[in-house]
Structure formats: structure tokens, C-alpha cells
Copies of this chain bind each other. A is one copy, B any other.
């Protein structure tokens, strides 16, 4: 029967995409760990970040033009059935991101994972000559598999693959391939020996009308911070582009600014992913109040100047640090504040409140419900029609 054939195709192709995504994520995470370890042991290397920017920029300027759009190119390709995503996207974004982290740029991982996953999925789609709708589903599966395997959160990966393409809708038609790719991708990454950062499990907290009001305030602060990040990154990007035409020089300048800030702050906490500080935000009541702002600035400069990576982990840092401080000020448990904040800034920035709420559950346990959903939805609404992926289509106004 026709239907069984389609189901079989979904499962087989989804699994294929999942294996590719999982293997790519494992390689990426392994190299990222090496790069981060090397940097923390030889911090002097950070002084060469401007030079690294010059070189990466030159390479990207020469060979990277077709993949410049990054995540936006992935979104546009899914919508417009554009030409095949260049397969070179996978190795180039992988190497570019690892170099960003080796030299101390403040960036994330999900952009890399999503772009590797989507370009591998599209290579599979073209290789097998599938039709248009199936190709779109495989691209969503690539996004899901990349996202799910790089963070070890398969269900969030699946929902992210369905949610981030179109703003305000979650279509089930890529559900099966996305779920298969995400589950298989995560299994493959783990089977290849990758261990993900363990986050603390958060203690339950009863919802009360007072807490609801506190969450509303909390969400306003999160939305303001998210908006600041989006606008600042955008401003840096456009201003730099207007003044400095060539990418290598923009990256040189961005790298120099990060080095200057690093020396000014006198701490390496805001370089790279920043995982140790994220974990600290869950328990340390003396976390600096300004930590979120510092990480926001480091990341906006790094990304705005053209370095590769993504925004998830730095925005986890921004959200967790701000949430921890706000919880302190409001008399809420700081682990809950950090946990909700962790998920919410990226949820608002990527317009994926559902995926990030599920991610919070997968990382931090069920006690984050219903809190994370309430705060994520408010912040998602207040952030308006902006986001870190300008290519996201709008089915209707948020409100």
C-alpha cells in the first residue's frame, strides 16, 4: 500500500539523515572539546584571535560565499525549494566553528549542528533523487538531527526542526522523519563516546498567583535582554559591513575587540561556550550581576563580526546568569531562575518557545514545568517580530 511505502521511506531516510547528523555532531563535539581544552590550558592563544579572524575570513571570502546565509540559507531553502545546499557547508562550518572556539571567540554550537545536518540531509535527498515535499521533510530532519544530537536532547531537536522554520506554527508533516533523525542522531553521537554536560535537576516549585506575577516581570527582563542581543548583533553586523567591505578585516576587528574586552574584564569566563559559568549560575549566589551583560556583549561582537558557531550556548549563559540574579533579587530558588532563564532567552531569540521548553525538561527535569512555558511564551510575545533568524516566515502576526 502507498501509505506503508511512505512510512517506510520516512523511517529509512530519517535514520540515514540521523546517522549522518549524529556522526557529524560527534566529530564536531570531540574537536570542540579539544579546542576548548587547548585554549583553557594555553590562554595566550586568545591574543591571536584577530589574526585567526583574518585567516578564517579570507578562507570564507574565497570559498564561503554560497553558504554565507548560514541558518537563514537553510530556512530559505526549505521554503523556496532552492538549489541544493552546498555539501561543503558541513566541513567549512565545522572547521570555522572549532577555530572560533580554539581562539576564544564567544559563540555556540547549534548553528554549526543545524547547518551540518541540513547540508548532509540535502546531499542525501539529491543523491537519492527524492521529490520536493520529501526533500523539505529531510531538510527539517537534518535540522532536528543536528540540533538533537549536538545537545543530547532528541525531543527538543525534533520539535525545533518543526518549529523554527515558520513562526507561529508547528506542522506535523515532517514529524516522522524529524523524530527518527533526532533519536537516531542522538544515539549515534552517544555511541561514539560523546558525553553531554550534565545540568542539575531542579526542585519542584508550586505555582501561585504571586509567582505568576514574578514570572511576568522575569519574562519582561528576559525579553528586553533578548531584544538587546538581537538588535546589538544586527547593529554591529550592519555597521561593520557598511564601514569595512572585506570579511577578513571585519573579523580581525571583531577579534581585536574581543581581546580588548577580555583584557579589560580580566577574566576568561566570557570566552568560548562558557559552560562552567552556566553550571555555576544554578548554585552560586555570588554570580556577578553584570555577567549576563558581559557575555551578551562578547557574543554580539563575535557573531556580529562574522565568526562561526551559533547562539544557543552563549544565550544559555546570558539567560541562566540573568535568571540566577533575578531569582536572587525576587527571593526565588536560584536553580529555578537559572533553569528558566537558560531556556527562555534562546526560545525568544529563535522563536521556538515549545522546543526550548521541552529542551529545559530534557536537561533539567520536569519541575521546570509549567514555569518555563509561561516565561518562554511571554518573552516570545514581547520580543515581537524579530529574531536571530530573519528568514523565518510569518504565517500571521504574533499578536
Interface of A is mostly: helix
How close is A344's CB to chain B, nearest CB, in angstroms? 14
Docked pose: A357 CA to B7 CA in angstroms: 21
Given A366-B365, A370-B154: A170 touches B168 (CB 8 Å cut-off): no
A side interface size, CB within 8 A: 39
Q: Which of B6, B154, B168 contacts A399 (CB 8 A)?
A: B6
Q: Identify the interface centre among A175, A366, A374, A377: most chain B CB within 10 Å of its CB.
A: A366
Question: A164 at interface (Cβ–Cβ under 8 A)?
Answer: no
Q: Could you tell me the distance between the alpha carbons of A173 and B396 in the complex, rounded to whole angstroms?
A: 8
Check A369–B362 contact: CB distance below 8 A. Answer: yes
* Contact call B154/A3, Cβ cutoff below 8 A: no
Q: Find chain B residues with CB under 8 A from A396 CB.
A: 173
Q: Does A98 contact B (CB under 8 A)?
A: no
**At the interface, yes or no: A397 with Cβ under 8 Å from chain B?**
yes
**A195 CB–B CB distance under 8 Å:** no
Instruction: Tell me, in angstroms, the Cα distance from A183 to B207 when the chains sit together.
Output: 9
- A175 and B395 CA atoms in complex are apart in Å by 14
For the complex, is A193 an interface residue (Cβ under 8 Å from B)? no
Set of chain B residues within 8 Å of A357, measured between Cβ atoms: 155
Determine which of B173, B209, B212, B397 lies in contact with A168 in the assembled complex, contact meaning CB atoms within 8 Å. Answer: B173
Measuring CB to CB, which residues of chain A are less than 8 angstroms from any residue of chain B?
Answer: 3, 6-7, 10, 154-155, 158, 168-173, 175-176, 179, 183, 186-187, 207-209, 212, 357-358, 361-362, 364-366, 369-370, 373-374, 377, 381, 396-397, 399
Given A175-B377, A187-B212, 15 more contacts at CB 8 Å?
A168-B171, A169-B170, A169-B172, A179-B373, A179-B377, A183-B207, A183-B212, A183-B370, A183-B374, A187-B208, A361-B366, A361-B369, A362-B370, A364-B366, A365-B366
> What are 24 A-B residue pairs whose CB atoms fall within 8 Å in the complex?
A3-B399, A6-B399, A7-B381, A7-B399, A10-B399, A155-B370, A168-B171, A168-B173, A169-B169, A169-B172, A173-B396, A175-B377, A176-B377, A179-B374, A183-B207, A187-B209, A358-B369, A361-B361, A361-B366, A362-B366, A362-B369, A362-B370, A364-B366, A365-B365
